[in-house]
A = this chain, B = another copy of it.
């Protein structure tokens, strides 16, 4: 480029003399809603373990929101994308590298952090419970998994998070035109993290229906019933078996293996179907860039 600007500078000269000035800049945090699916062991040897959706939270050891629970997160650093910052935190907290990570939304309300001007670029991570290794190198000694449940009742959404040591609860009101929500009650969650978690649950549920994100939450080999239980745990409602199987049959690939020693009829083991060269793959596009 040899184009000159109004001062007669070419691009190289311009960049050399460029001064970013001293306008105020916010800190940018990458917060992550880390989801996993966990088994609920029953006492009946014949029953399959139930599944539940869990989110990882960290107990705050200092002000503000001391003693309350927050999403894992950290500040973005020069030379990395905000997604890389999120991944760094994900690895620190869970030991999982290469897990699924997706940017959700950037929360920037003034005052959302009482300490300083900090905006949060929220992310969602999905990891298979088999590879979880919480506390791997984490400085957050108080990281815990919380079971996620929501209830929808008359313009309000109730979010319940149940952990080993604590039960958290938030209520959100749907606002004008359902395009906005506002937290009206909040017990135990730090910052605006209740809002972020609700946003993430919403996104996860929506994408479950039109992408193949489920496979980020289950082991490589699974039965169709296990897969259905994962759907049900996330969506919070039961599905019809026949309809469910019709729907996902073209996303999975059967193997020759079966379960055994379960006290009931063995189930065929499936794996995720790999993309064919010439085939149509409508459900793989996640819409993210």
* 1/0 contact string of A224-252 vs chain B (CB within 8 Å): 00000000000000000000000000000
Residue A78 interfacial (CB < 8 Å): yes
* Number of residues of chain A lying within 8 A (CB) of chain B: 62
Residue A279 interfacial (CB < 8 Å): no
Pair A289/B27 contact, Cβ less than 8 Å: no
Residue A153 interfacial (CB < 8 Å): no
Pair A78/B27 contact, Cβ less than 8 Å: no
CB neighbours of A78 from chain B (8 A): 24, 26, 110, 117
Point out the residue from B6, B63, B116, B288 that lies within 8 Å of A61, measured CB to CB: B6
CB neighbours of A287 from chain B (8 A): 202-203, 206
**Cα distance A51–B260 in the bound complex, in angstroms:** 61
Residue A141 interfacial (CB < 8 Å): no
Pair B75/A23 contact, Cβ less than 8 Å: yes
Known A15-B63, A25-B28; judge A119-B82 contact (CB<8 A). yes
Known A18-B116, A180-B288, A284-B177; judge A108-B83 contact (CB<8 A). yes
Instruction: Please provide the chain A residues from 22 to 69 with a CB less than 8 Å away from any CB of chain B in the complex.
Output: 23-28, 61-64, 66-67
Residue A161 interfacial (CB < 8 Å): no
**Cα distance A85–B117 in the bound complex, in angstroms:** 15
Beta-carbon nearest neighbor of A11 in chain B: B63
Residue A193 interfacial (CB < 8 Å): no
Known A78-B117, A103-B106, A110-B79; judge A63-B281 contact (CB<8 A). no
4 nearest CB pairs, A to B? A14-B63, A25-B25, A20-B116, A82-B108
